[in-house]
Amino acid sequence: MKWNWQQADWPNFKYDKSQLESFEYQFLKEEGLLLGTFKHLNEGDKTDLTIDIICNEAIKTSEIEGEYLNRESVQSSIRREFGLETDRLRASPAEQGVAEMMVDVYRSFGEPLTHSKLFAWHEMAIKGRRDLIDMGRYRTHKEAMQVISGDIHHPKVHFEAPPSTKMGNEMEKFVNWFNETSSSKLTPLSRAGIAHLYFVCIHPFEDGNGRIGRAIVEKALAQSFGQPTLIALAYTIEKHKKAYYDALEKANKSNEVTEWLLYFAPTILEAQQYTQIYITFLIEKTKFYDTFRGKLNERQEKVLTRMFNEGPEGFKGGLSAEKYISITKTSRATATRDLQDLVSMGALTKSGQQKYTRYKLNMVLKPHGLS
């Protein structure tokens, strides 16, 4: 079997534009709604929302690769990158690195893509690693770059990338293609989807290709609007991670990429719709704390913070008394009083009976496109 990069038409990707038209139209419409929402916020709220969204994406893009980071540390690092006051939490190199990369993607979206920029992102994405040979440069190892699974004696090869000896030539073509298409008639979703697939199929780095590939999508989409899009791309991919890897595996065998783009386009639309809900959630969060400031004890504040950190979906299945006890390390009697107090003041809503009793934040969010 030949991989797509081994075929005569590589990298001349082909697709049926007519099948993407409705998605492209919806994307432009949804982005207009998002930009409109931002325009109605004051500068302080815009900054807070931007940091929250970037933080969420930084955490999720790492989770896709199996790396789980501390939210408070990542957010503190992002604030530091923006030159804002922080609580100076000690962040790990991985937390610092992903914060640096995500903020740089946000700030430099309008600049042409360069090899040096990709090298800088790579150093940020793998910050703290000591097990890699090639850091901040394209891979040089002689072994085949393969994506495999299964038993070590009977591995299944899902994909094999071009050999390291071809990285200079392949990446020169990719960077030129990306910059040339920034002002072409290639539509936003098509360009971003092809850019991600093209980059991931080359797999130019020893590790970190997924995170950088998603950063390239963010850059491509932002360039189409002339400003950062702030969509929940990593969140949406992580939510449906198997579908993401399945779509990539199917797409690496041919340069006819209509099927890949028909996966990618709805994924971007879902990411947009979630961002709209997330913005509403963060706005309601500010109102929530304005309402209950000074009325909460330390235990209640700790639990509510944890609930807000779970995002618009909240705890899976809702907050139980057992979860409250686990988070606060308090007695059942105290937990019961605290929860009753939160319900009576209107901070939480209650459903179910006895051991099936569950609590949720008392917030109404428009369920626009969120599954």
For 8-41, b/e burial (b = at least 16 CB within 10 A) is: eebbebebeeeebeebeebbeebbeebeeeeeeb
Q: In which band, very low, low, confident or very high, does the pLDDT at 309 lie, cut at 50, 70 and 90?
A: confident
Q: What are the pLDDT digits (tens) for 144-183?
A: 999 888 877 788 899 999 999 999 999 999 999 999 999 8
- Is 368 inside a domain boundary? no
- Is 229 inside a domain boundary? yes
- Is 207 inside a domain boundary? yes
This prediction has a pTM of 0.87
Whether 229 contacts 218, CB under 8 Å:
yes
Angle formed by the axes of helices 209-225 and 115-125, nearest 10°: 130
pLDDT, residue 366, reads 59
Q: What are the pLDDT digits (tens) for 48-103?
A: 889 999 999 999 999 999 999 999 999 999 999 999 988 778 899 999 999 999 99
pLDDT more than 90, % of the chain: 80
pLDDT, residue 39, reads 79
Helix (H) or strand (E) holding 148: strand 146-149
Whether 149 contacts 230, CB under 8 Å:
no
- The number of folded domains in the chain is 2
Evaluate if residue 40 carries a pLDDT over 80: no
Answer yes or no: do 214 and 66 share one domain: yes
Long-range contacts of 82-87 (CB under 8 A, 24+ apart): 82/47, 82/51, 84/47, 84/51
- Is 366 inside a domain boundary? no
What's 195's domain CATH number?
A: 1.10.3290.10
Answer yes or no: do 274 and 340 share one domain: no
Answer yes or no: do 91 and 160 share one domain: yes
* pLDDT, mean of residues 232-239: 96
pLDDT, residue 280, reads 87
Answer yes or no: do 272 and 310 share one domain: no
Q: Which residue has the higher pLDDT, 264 or 34?
A: 264
Give the domain range for residue 199: 4-279
- Is 287 inside a domain boundary? no
Q: How many CA atoms lie within 13 A of 318 on its CB side?
A: 16
Evaluate if residue 371 carries a pLDDT over 70: no
Answer yes or no: do 152 and 46 share one domain: yes
The 3-state secondary structure of 75-99, one letter per residue? HHHHHHHCCCCCCCCCCCHHHHHHH
pLDDT, residue 293, reads 93
What's 330's domain CATH number?
A: 1.10.10
Answer yes or no: do 81 and 169 share one domain: yes
pLDDT, residue 138, reads 98
- Is 16 inside a domain boundary? yes
- Is 367 inside a domain boundary? no
Answer yes or no: do 158 and 270 share one domain: yes
Whether residue 11 has a cis bond before it, omega within 30° of 0: yes
Q: Which of 133-142, 255-264, 358-367 has the lowest mean pLDDT?
A: 358-367
At residue 189, what are phi and psi to the nearest 5 degrees? Answer: -65, -40
Q: In which band, very low, low, confident or very high, does the pLDDT at 184 lie, cut at 50, 70 and 90?
A: confident
- Is 221 inside a domain boundary? yes
Evaluate if residue 296 carries a pLDDT over 70: yes
Answer yes or no: do 109 and 191 share one domain: yes
Answer yes or no: do 69 and 183 share one domain: yes
Answer yes or no: do 240 and 198 share one domain: yes
Residues 6+ apart with CB under 8 A from 360: 314, 318, 319, 348, 349, 351
Long-range contacts of 52-57 (CB under 8 A, 24+ apart): 52/278, 52/282, 53/230, 53/232, 53/275, 53/278, 53/279, 54/78, 54/102, 54/103, 54/106, 54/230, 55/99, 56/232, 56/235, 56/278, 56/311, 57/102, 57/232, 57/233, 57/234, 57/235
pLDDT, residue 368, reads 39
Q: In which band, very low, low, confident or very high, does the pLDDT at 316 lie, cut at 50, 70 and 90?
A: confident
pLDDT, residue 367, reads 40
Answer yes or no: do 125 and 70 share one domain: yes
Domain boundary among 246, 279, 312: 279
pLDDT, residue 19, reads 98
pLDDT, residue 1, reads 64
On average, the pLDDT of the chain sits at: 93
Answer yes or no: do 154 and 260 share one domain: yes
pLDDT more than 70, % of the chain: 98
Whether 90 contacts 212, CB under 8 Å:
no
